[in-house]
Structure 1
């Protein structure tokens, strides 16, 4: 009987040691996985570009100012590529403008100077990428939606009436040409933006007096003072 108790006592003493040994084995296995992933990322570098623009909408005679960050799979500044390509793609998928910008230590600043003879009014996609990212396909490119106005719209005038009630805003707009005549039966795309975010966009048509009405609810996460209707 004493021998049995002694064996049980020894087993109980060894249990913490066995658990500790298992923990060491788990840590070692995790370290091996991390080392393998790190080795793979260094042998097959992954690059991602993140781009900031100075605003979400432009006239087709403006300059789009860009700041690009080029990171690797470890979210460090990438040393793989020295050039970022920026393209402006229209709604038919055609690249209408392209700019190559040198990268220094994973960051660069650049611009796309819009040409009104090439860029017409409409929705565009800005996409940025490196030459290495083309190995991963276009789905790896950074993309951002932009709206570009026509040059003639800079000469138009807008008379606006706005009525705000709690979170609901009612707007009445009259759009006039440079000579003061109403912009009649013209399709318009109205955007509600806040900072870099577009909350919604809607197509409307002006009436015979150049007027268009739009009612909307201020988004819950938006600050009414930072909203812009264009």
Structure 2
């Protein structure tokens, strides 16, 4: 019984000393670490505008894209190109265009639709080379008919 009590007392003392040895992290420290991470590894986000929501075969889809910081929503100037893809309802790539940044810090361009394009819900997907490294969940996707 004495051995068991002594062992329990020793275990409790060891636990108390271990708890006291831990470093206390404040909210300011956590906030500063998070800000350092955000600035060291900025994440891009694309906003894409198209001229309308319904198209017919042979039309031209005019696009305008803006690149912003994913956290602060401020303008980003890391990427010089945005890739925009037209994807059919079966998830097959129809066309891809590479848009270059203009003087207004936006990306302008167009995608001509083929004349033999069948009806359906199509997807415009936009991304940069940095976004490709992060994965498809960071791509911009817009659906239209």
Shorter-chain TM range is 0.7 to 0.9
Pair 1:40-2:33 in alignment: no
Q: Is 1:137 matched with 2:127?
A: no
The equivalent of 1:174 in structure 2 is none
The separation in 2 between residues aligned to 1:99 and 1:71, in whole angstroms, is: 20
| Greater than 6 Å deviation, 4+ residue runs | none
Structure 1 residue 32: Cα displacement: 3.6
Does the 8 Å CA contact 1:71/1:106 hold for their aligned counterparts? no
Cα distance between partner residues in 2 of 1:139 and 1:66? 21
How far off is 1:30 after superposition?
Answer: 4.5
Q: Aligned Cα RMSD in Å?
A: 1.9
TM-score (structure 2 length as normaliser) = 0.74
| Structure 1 gaps, min length 5 | 1-28, 148-230
Q: Any residues of structure 2 matched to 1:93-132 within 5 Å, and which?
A: 93-104=91-102, 106-117=105-116, 119-132=117-130
Give the conservation status (yes or no) of the 8 Å contact 1:45–1:80. Answer: no
Judge conservation of contact 1:61–1:116 (CA < 8 Å) in 2: yes
Aligned length, in residue pairs? 119
The CA deviation string for residues 66-92 of structure 1, in whole angstroms up to 9 with x for no partner, is 111111132111122110111011111
Structure 1 position 45, deviation (Å): 1.6
Shift of 1:123: 1.6
Aligned counterparts, 1:1-230, within 5 A:
29-73=26-70, 74-104=72-102, 106-117=105-116, 119-147=117-145
* TM-score after normalising by structure 1: 0.48
Higher strand share: 1
Given that 1:65 and 1:110 are in contact with CA atoms closer than 8 Å, whether structure 2 keeps it comes out as yes
- 1:5-37 CA distances to partner (integer Å, 9 max, x unpaired)? xxxxxxxxxxxxxxxxxxxxxxxx444433322
